Structure 1
């Protein structure tokens, strides 16, 4: 017995040195993919950057800085145009892909760690909802970088249909695949649970359906998408008219409209015909109704007609029809019973007036029709698939509300 203690200590030190840190017994490692605009984004400005005003170029040559989220900087209205300019993307027809504005380089820090999205603005540690979810997992025994991993991404981008270029999206998928394999390897070869929130569910789903079935069965134990907008959201149509201040009350959404229109990811959250049909009016003016089947006409009406071709070639092939089953056990957790915009009514023939909102069911952001669009096709396939409804809990509160978190944790534990 005297020799056993040094031997055990040596074995533990060797395990740590080899990176073979084990999770609490019985736990499958968890990889978290956050929602839209939930993780940090860094930028640096090179000599190629041509700012629209001298102030926007003040950081030229100074190295990396936090572009998103810098709550304090955005409180100054003078900084908002620079933020919008540097956050924009540009579609290059020759390359058939989206890129940053010339001279703006970006990176996503802390890939692999939940540090990336616990507090998107590190200066304001109360500006987060993912932190509560992470803390609950830590109480279960999960540890960051050992049995719990974060997969942040550049939320301005998405991926294209198979066979079309998507430099940023494809790079994220390669990194995510490597992270999942590493997480499994660090935990005795146990397959991982992929838990996502909102837009992260769309990305993870596209990732899964593009992997060989044998790989999915080997490395993924369960997929737990939370509040995933499978069929888009009606509010996505308003973003392209009014902008989106990303929850910052002191920022005028219209100041970000041009930037929001430039982002590939904002086309992903438009209502799909599969979820909303082609006859139900989603946006109404005095003389015209627009359904999910009229998105091209809607683009033209709001002065965004140059994007019709991109929507038809890069979005509809992914979301226009039935979404394929991800090929692994799935628990889709959704919020219901919260008033959610299902129709936007403009008083005139243009889109300048303040619209009225007609509410339906959902989680306050994701419409019930969108959240439920996968139920029939995925149930028909058979296997381990379930939708869990959480009543009277909103989109972000699903990761904060104690009863909702209990349900989500239970579904993650189902993998064990």
Structure 2
């Protein structure tokens, strides 16, 4: 009996320690954040295979890795913009049926697994980010980078192809994302992960989820929270292939980045899909022709981008041309509404170089309403937890900055708890 008392005390002590550990645990389901297009850093290095268009573009050849995106200060010099555009471009090889960098340009995405990659795409200035507010709000809720909160940055110039077609960069990202989800769950006692995304990141994460075995999804993913996802593409996707995209840098001429933007696989993902916009509704109008989501191939030819018709029809339409599959996990999608959004681009003649007028409709300023809600009807009738929250008078990026929107998003993330 005397020996039993110390043994009992030891057992009670171990029990108390175990209970204290449980009470001290944050109790949060880990969250993996997948940012939007052109939101995270991208590094590059120039090898001897690089043939610069001008001597200045080759100045960094052989010097190792440097930050290609985003270098806000460098791009303020118009002389640096052509080199940036050249090194950011990609190339589609019809024989290989895949995209790659320009010869001699190697790229990498730094800080995978951490939110550091997209808190400030230009860490020197720290003034060009909306993800930072979102991350800070999560931190106030108790999330910690690398412990309960993880980042999945990616090379936003690329995407993935339909199953069975090559997509070297996209497939590598999916492998890394799968490992990250499993690691995040393992570091948190096996709790399922919440995957929260913004904009283009939602399309990537959706494709990732539907390609995983259902048992894996149910084991490792507690909720999918896509924010401002353009499920059916954007009218602006057609507009930027005509006029260019300055990546939100007001001092950069969008047309200076036109060829670079046209070369990217991800640019074709942003084109309006017939499933969302219909095959007959005019989206781009010239004096002699209307172009709908069903006329994208003709539109590409008309603007001088006929070489993109093949990859669009073989690598994009099979993914977005019809109803999108439910990801098989609980979903809350958050969208902004009530903000004027380009709905129709009207050119005064048949010349795409002319300045068009823009007819606005509903949406978040970037994503058209019909695209944002494209999954609402089909996903809400699948017998799986699904909800869509429409935040009135909320723009595309404000969804991750505005207190009213962030309160909704954090609440939905924590529903997994």
Could you tell me the TM-score, scaled by structure 2's length? 0.95
* Counterparts in 2 of 1:200 and 1:23: CA distance versus 1, 3 Å: farther
CA distance in 2, matches of 1:340, 1:22: 48
Tell me if structure 2 keeps the 8 A contact 1:22–1:188.
no
Cα distance, 1:166 vs structure 2 = 0.2
2:211 matched to 1:217?
no
Mapping 1:33-48, distance limit 5 Å: 33-48=34-49
* SS at structure 2 position matched to 1:293: helix
CA distance in 2, matches of 1:126, 1:240: 27
* SS at structure 2 position matched to 1:270: coil
State the Cα deviation string for residues 181-202 of structure 1 (Å, max 9, x = none).
Answer: 0000000000000000000000
2:343 matched to 1:342?
yes
Q: Which moved more, 1:380-389 or 1:97-106?
A: 380-389
The corresponding residue for 2:4 is: none
* SS at structure 1 position matched to 2:381: helix
The corresponding residue for 1:97 is: 98
Tell me if structure 2 keeps the 8 A contact 1:197–1:226.
yes
Cα distance, 1:24 vs structure 2 = 4.8
Tell me if structure 2 keeps the 8 A contact 1:23–1:143.
no
The corresponding residue for 1:323 is: 324
CA distance in 1, matches of 2:23, 2:372: 35
Mapping 1:47-58, distance limit 5 Å: 47-58=48-59
Show structure 1 runs of 5+ residues with no match: 16-20
Show structure 2 runs of 5+ residues with no match: 1-8
The corresponding residue for 1:197 is: 198
| Greater than 6 Å deviation, 4+ residue runs | none
Cα distance, 1:217 vs structure 2 = 0.1
Tell me if structure 1 keeps the 8 A contact 2:328–2:384.
no
Mapping 1:336-375, distance limit 5 Å: 336-375=337-376
Cα distance, 1:23 vs structure 2 = 8.8
The corresponding residue for 1:304 is: 305
Could you tell me the TM-score, scaled by structure 1's length? 0.95
The corresponding residue for 1:262 is: 263
2:114 matched to 1:113?
yes
Cα distance, 1:22 vs structure 2 = 11
State the Cα deviation string for residues 256-286 of structure 1 (Å, max 9, x = none).
Answer: 1100000000000100000000110000001
CA distance in 2, matches of 1:77, 1:23: 54
The corresponding residue for 1:81 is: 82
CA distance in 1, matches of 2:127, 2:250: 15
Tell me if structure 2 keeps the 8 A contact 1:194–1:220.
yes
Structure (1 or 2) with the larger CA radius of gyration: 2
CA distance in 2, matches of 1:81, 1:361: 35
The corresponding residue for 2:231 is: 230
Tell me if structure 2 keeps the 8 A contact 1:282–1:344.
yes
Cα distance, 1:376 vs structure 2 = 1.1
CA distance in 1, matches of 2:124, 2:244: 25
The corresponding residue for 2:152 is: 151
Cα distance, 1:350 vs structure 2 = 1.5
* SS at structure 2 position matched to 1:381: coil
CA distance in 2, matches of 1:337, 1:24: 41
Tell me if structure 2 keeps the 8 A contact 1:22–1:186.
no
RMSD, aligned α-carbons: 1.8
The corresponding residue for 2:386 is: 385
Cα distance, 1:383 vs structure 2 = 1.6
Cα distance, 1:95 vs structure 2 = 1.3
